[in-house]
């Protein structure tokens, strides 16, 4: 196997925080690696070290031959936001190449599903998923030997996600390493998995699911070994102590010497005992209040415009939200989900602009999570931002940070230096302090690791929260939503589940409908019949797995209602392709 890169015994710290110590990793030609780890464990930092943006403390990154590396960043670089889509892509080329190779940028964008008419749209007006596709286009234009992708699936809807999977699995000619918290994506595109934990990495020549199983087995064995070793150390220490007392009381040198030698043995064993992995200790906790009222929000004939106000995205004829409703918004990338939520937020803070059309209960307290995390002031420290953003005492602020698993030393760390997941978690700490009674969450699971996602799901389900939410994670939404609103052809339709939306998305006949949406600059992806069939097969594969996993659980842990739902969707999907 030809090695592209060898990370040899590398160590690195951010200030006091030691992230890697003696870490080794090889990246070979044609490798398809999934890089997995908890929020803040150092995944993005590792990518920056490989790219050469940060300097190693110890160790070396060796390139047997010169390797060109391109990166798809976790966040959109700020200087791009005011450029047009095409200029933002061309910008990645050297100045002298921009004139002669500009056409490549156009072709790259079209391969990723953008239409020519979208090239002039300002980057700030693209949806989150479209911005991610733009970053991928920039990386590919550099024709790298190694592509490093930092959570590229964040913000993407299922169509864009499927396009990304298809590209990485079948069309990507170079080696890649992808960071993701999305198990389905990892299982589908990676043949190797690297777990980054506790300053080291564990490597497996397996896709995520099997690698995770092996890792858990190894951890269990290590814990069992450690238990035996600790028992033996305690036994040796107790024996040494007894012998020392006897030696002293009876003035017996032989016993005292024996005690010392046994104690040394215990110390040696203690120093070499099995290492078990320390978890981050981060906890995702929030709190909310429950409003006792018939309705909390009502909307009457309200037009949602594009962010640049140039055209109408959709019209909400009538919508009433009652306390305790957990409402999911469905729709493809760019259809207006985030704009709708942002408009509702604006109406709350600037009621004069649209008070006749969007009305809130007078006791409404809003908690808003925007997918770009714009409310976080990057210049502040963690605790200063909370001081500004929350009405709480010093004691409450500190207690909320500690409960979220953040140590005292970390309170004063600047928000700008936090990892993606650590930033996202700050918003939930603010909710824990402000305790809103209406939550608007726009893609809240982006950046959050798998454990955090599970904690968020459980709390949303049990807290009685009133919720307006978007997420590209279908599994997550299915668990929490009690109402479904589908943005379809410029209208908001209430449906009983997410099924009609996904059926329209996956049905070959309706797929052309997406083409119409693309025609009006809203959706970057056009589906051919063949691509649509491929999506159906991927969906079948995922549902079969979910069903199988659930059926393997103990009977009382199974979810019969969901099993039924998955089975009926499976029947329909099979029917549509046979
Ligand atoms: N400039 C900095 N100064 C101090 N600490 C930093 C700095 N940059 C990053 N860190 C810290 O280093 C740790 C690793 O950050 P990194 O962004 O690599 O995490 P990550 O594994 O990518 O996390 P996520 O899943 O949340 O994206 C985090 O705790 C982060 O807060
Ligand atoms: Mg990161």
Atom of ligand 1 nearest to the CA of 151: 27
Q: Which ligand is nearest to the CA of 45?
A: 1
482 burial level (CB within 10 Å; 0-12, 13-18, 19+): exposed
Bigger pLDDT: 310 vs 46: 46
> Which ligand has the nearest atom to the CA of 35?
1
Question: Residue 79: how many CB atoms within 10 A of its CB?
Answer: 10
Position 533 scores a pLDDT of 58
- SS3 category, 493: strand
d(CA 283, CA 162): 31
Atom 4 (ligand 1): residue with closest C-alpha? 14
Domain ranges of the chain: 3-198, 213-271, 282-495
Pocket test for ligand 1, best of 47, 418, 446 (most atoms within 8 A of CB): 418
Rounded CA separation 386/376 (Å): 9
Mutate to test the pocket of ligand 1, among 14, 20, 73 (most ligand atoms within 8 A of CB): 14
Q: How far is the CA of 446 from the centre of ligand 2 (A)?
A: 11
Fold agreement (3-198, 282-495): yes
CATH number of the domain located at residue range(s) 282-495 in this protein? 3.40.50.300
The DSSP code sequence of 333-391 is TTSSHHHHHHHHHHHHH-HHHHTTTEEE-TT--EEEE-TT-TTS-TTSBHHHHHHHH--
| Ligand index nearest the alpha carbon of residue 42 | 1
CA distance 319 to 487: 13
pTM value surpassing 0.85 = no
CA 468 from chain center: how many Å? 19
Residues with CB under 6 A from ligand 1: 14-15, 17, 19, 37, 39-45, 74, 417-422, 447, 449
Helix (H) or strand (E) holding 494: strand 491-495
The pLDDT-based confidence of 546 (bands split at 50, 70, 90) is: confident
Ligand 1 center from residue 148 Cα (angstroms): 17
User: Given ligand 1 and candidates 42, 57, 446, which is best to mutate, with the most ligand atoms within 8 Å of its CB?
Assistant: 42
Residue of minimum CA distance from atom 7 in ligand 1: 417
Q: What is the mean pLDDT of residues 205-224?
A: 92
Domain 3-198 has CATH 3.40.50.300: yes
- Tell me the C-alpha distance between 182 and 131, whole Å: 19
pLDDT at 168 over 70: yes
The pLDDT > 90 percentage for the chain reads 53
CA-nearest residue for atom 2, ligand 1, is 417
> pLDDT-derived band of residue 538, with 50, 70 and 90 as boundaries?
low
**Could you tell me where the DSSP H helices lie in 175-313?**
183-189, 208-249, 253-271
Q: Cα-atom radius of gyration of the chain, to the nearest Å?
A: 27
Ramachandran assignment for 291, one of left (phi > 0), alpha (psi -120 to 50 degrees), beta (any other): beta
What are 173-205's pLDDT values in tens digits?
Answer: 899 999 998 888 898 899 999 999 989 999 999
Question: Which atom of ligand 1 is least distant from the CA of 423?
Answer: 26
Asked whether the beta carbons of 335 and 306 are under 8 A apart, the reply is no
231 C-alpha to ligand 2 centroid (Å): 39
Which protein residue has the closest C-alpha to ligand 1 atom 9?
Answer: 417
* pLDDT tens profile 2-40: 889 999 999 999 988 899 999 999 999 999 999 999 999
Residue 45 has pLDDT above 60, yes or no: yes
**Nearest-angstrom CA–CA distance, 566 and 572:** 10
Cβ-based neighbours of 424, under 8 Å, separated by 6 or more: 39, 373, 444, 446, 447, 448
Q: Could you tell me the sign of the dihedral formed by the alpha carbons of 388, 394, 400, 402, in that order?
A: positive
Buried b (16+ CB within 10 A) or exposed e, 542-559: bbeebbeeeeeeeeeeee
Residue 402 has pLDDT above 90, yes or no: yes
Q: How far is the CA of 418 from the centre of ligand 2 (A)?
A: 9
Measured by CA distance, the residue closest to atom 31 of ligand 1 is 418
Instruction: Give the Å distance between the CA of 504 and the centre of ligand 2.
Output: 34
Query: Is residue 389 very low, low, confident or very high in pLDDT (cuts 50, 70, 90)?
Result: very high
């Amino acid at each position: 196997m030809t090695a592209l890169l060898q990370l040899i015994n590398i160590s690195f710290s951010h200030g006091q925080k030691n992230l890697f110590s003696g870490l080794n990793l090889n990246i070979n030609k044609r490798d398809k690696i999934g890089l997995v780890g908890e929020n803040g464990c150092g995944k993005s930092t590792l990518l920056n070290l490989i790219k050469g943006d940060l300097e190693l403390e110890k160790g070396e990154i060796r390139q047997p031959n010169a390797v060109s590396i391109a990166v798809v960043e976790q966040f959109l670089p700020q200087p791009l936001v005011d450029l047009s889509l095409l200029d933002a892509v061309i910008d990645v080329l050297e100045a002298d190449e921009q004139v002669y190779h500009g056409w490549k940028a156009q072709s790259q964008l079209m391969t990723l599903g953008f239409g020519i008419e979208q090239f002039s749209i300002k980057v700030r007006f693209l949806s989150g998923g479209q911005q991610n596709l733009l970053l991928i286009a920039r990386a590919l234009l550099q024709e790298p030997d190694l592509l490093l992708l930092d959570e590229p699936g964040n913000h993407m809807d299922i169509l864009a996600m499927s396009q990304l999977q298809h590209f990485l699995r079948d069309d990507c000619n170079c080696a890649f390493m992808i960071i993701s918290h999305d198990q389905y994506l990892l299982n589908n595109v990676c043949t190797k998995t690297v777990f980054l934990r506790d300053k080291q990495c564990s490597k497996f020549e397996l896709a995520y699911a099997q690698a995770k199983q092996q890792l858990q087995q190894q951890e269990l064995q290590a814990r069992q070994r450690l238990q035996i070793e600790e028992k033996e150390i305690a036994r040796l220490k107790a024996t040494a102590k007894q012998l020392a007392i006897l030696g002293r009381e009876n003035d017996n040198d032989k016993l005292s010497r024996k005690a010392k030698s046994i104690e040394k043995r215990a110390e040696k064993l203690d120093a070499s005992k099995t290492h078990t992995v320390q978890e981050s200790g981060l906890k995702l906790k929030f709190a909310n209040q429950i409003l006792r009222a018939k309705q909390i929000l009502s909307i009457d004939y309200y037009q949602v415009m594009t962010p640049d106000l140039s055209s109408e995205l959709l019209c909400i004829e009538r919508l009433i939200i009652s306390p305790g409703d957990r409402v999911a918004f469905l729709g493809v990338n760019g259809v207006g989900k985030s704009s709708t939520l942002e408009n509702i937020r604006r109406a709350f803070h600037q009621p004069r602009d649209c008070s006749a059309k969007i009305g809130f209960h007078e006791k409404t307290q809003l908690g808003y999570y925007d997918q770009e995390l714009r409310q976080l002031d990057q210049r502040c420290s963690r605790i200063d931002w909370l001081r500004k953003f929350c009405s709480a005492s010093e004691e409450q602020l500190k207690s909320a940070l500690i409960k979220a698993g953040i140590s005292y030393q970390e309170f004063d760390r600047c928000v700008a230096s936090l990892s993606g997941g650590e930033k996202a978690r700050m918003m939930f700490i603010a909710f824990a302090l402000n305790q809103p009674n209406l939550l608007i969450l726009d893609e809240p699971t982006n950046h959050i690791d798998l454990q955090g996602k599970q904690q968020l799901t459980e709390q949303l389900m049990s807290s009685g929260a009133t919720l307006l939410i978007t997420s590209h994670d279908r599994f997550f939404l299915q668990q929490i939503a009690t109402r479904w609103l589908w943005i379809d052809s410029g209208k908001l339709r209430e449906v009983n589940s997410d099924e009609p939306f996904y059926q329209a998305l996956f049905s070959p006949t309706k797929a052309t409908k997406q083409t119409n949406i693309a025609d009006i600059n809203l959706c970057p992806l056009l589906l051919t019949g063949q691509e649509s069939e491929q999506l159906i097969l991927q969906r079948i594969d995922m549902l079969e797995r979910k069903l199988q996993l659930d059926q393997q659980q103990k009977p009382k842990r199974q979810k019969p209602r969901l099993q039924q739902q998955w089975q009926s969707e499976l029947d329909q999907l099979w029917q549509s392709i046979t």
